[in-house]
Amino acid sequence: MYLKRLTLRGFKSFASATTMVFEPGITCVVGPNGSGKSNVVDALSWVMGEQGAKTLRGGKMEDVIFAGTTKRAPLGRAEVELTIDNSDGALPIEYSEVTITRTMFRSGGSEYQINGAQARLLDVQELLSDSGIGREMHVIVGQGQLDAILQATPESRRGFIEEAAGVLKHRKRKEKALRK
Ligand code: ATP
Ligand code: MG
């Protein structure tokens, strides 16, 4: 399983449709300051269901919609489409390629699609959970976060590792059960 293709339409600084194709292995995105590198990473979190405006480096959820420039009017919607190669069947779905689409309008609310069919946030989350990508997984290390990890106390570093390994949710569940 690997991320194959990402298309942004009206997402943050990407007013016009922009598609990036990734190969298996490591991908580097390079560019001058402010050119939109972090916005590409934000788009990845967003399409996988991110619900926190702060995580997306904005004040409110609508901040992901292209806000306009001196040359171009603001847009009314943002859309991100992520295609994941599933030829190894890592995702629990009978397709060798899975495309997740998230659309948001200024009027509010997000719509999701999985391979073109209307889906709920929960469907997206369930599709991605335990796959090593998606919610509650620290696979996205933001700018400055690396410092935080390197300077973390042993306890919080253990937390990062547990989260990445997927055991944190079980620990949380256990703690909750013991409190009852
Ligand atoms: P650096 O190298 O400094 O980390 P970067 O390439 O990561 O830069 P980003 O943070 O991805 O840059 O992009 C910042 C740019 O995106 C800013 O110019 C900002 O105005 C623009 N931007 C962010 N949100 C929107 C939006 N909703 N509409 C239009 N432009 C936006
Ligand atoms: Mg950046």
Percent pLDDT > 70 in the chain is 92
Atom number in ligand 1 closest to CA 69 = 29
Phi, psi of 54 (to 5 degrees): -65, -40
Closest-approaching ligand to the CA atom of 66? 1
- 96 and 170 assigned to the same domain: no
pTM for the model stands at: 0.83
> For residues 8 and 17, what is the distance between their CA atoms, to the nearest angstrom?
6
pLDDT score recorded for residue 130: 66
Q: What domain count does the chain have?
A: 2
Residue 166 has pLDDT above 80, yes or no: no
Residue 146 has pLDDT above 90, yes or no: no
Residue 28 has pLDDT above 60, yes or no: yes
- 128 and 156 assigned to the same domain: no
> For residues 11 and 29, what is the distance between their CA atoms, to the nearest angstrom?
17
Domain boundary among 117, 136, 155: 136
pLDDT score recorded for residue 68: 97
- 25 and 110 assigned to the same domain: yes
- 127 and 146 assigned to the same domain: no
Residue 137 has pLDDT above 70, yes or no: no
Containing 99, the helix (H) or strand (E) segment is strand 97-105
Residue 131 has pLDDT above 80, yes or no: no
- 146 and 90 assigned to the same domain: no
Neighbours of ion ligand 2 (CB under 5 A): 37-38, 143
pLDDT score recorded for residue 55: 84
- 65 and 145 assigned to the same domain: no
- 123 and 53 assigned to the same domain: yes
Q: Cα dihedral angle (117, 15, 36, 111), rounded to 10 degrees?
A: -20
Q: Which residue, judged by its Cα, is nearest atom 2 of ligand 1?
A: 33
- 75 and 164 assigned to the same domain: no
> For residues 108 and 89, what is the distance between their CA atoms, to the nearest angstrom?
34
List the CATH number of the domain containing 46. 3.40.50.300
Atom number in ligand 1 closest to CA 32 = 2
- 87 and 16 assigned to the same domain: yes
- 131 and 145 assigned to the same domain: no
- 28 and 86 assigned to the same domain: yes
Phi, psi of 2 (to 5 degrees): -155, 160
Mean pLDDT of the chain: 89
Tens of pLDDT along 72-94? Answer: 999 999 999 999 999 999 898 99
Place of tokens 């779905």: 93
Mutate which of 9, 13, 44 for ligand 1? The one with the most ligand atoms within 8 Å of its CB, which is: 13
Domain residues for 172? Answer: 141-180
Closest-approaching ligand to the CA atom of 12? 1
pLDDT score recorded for residue 136: 55
The amino acid at 180? K
- CA of 57 from ligand 1 middle (Å) equals 10
Chain-centre distance of CA 161, in angstroms?
A: 19
The ipTM assigned to this model is 0.98
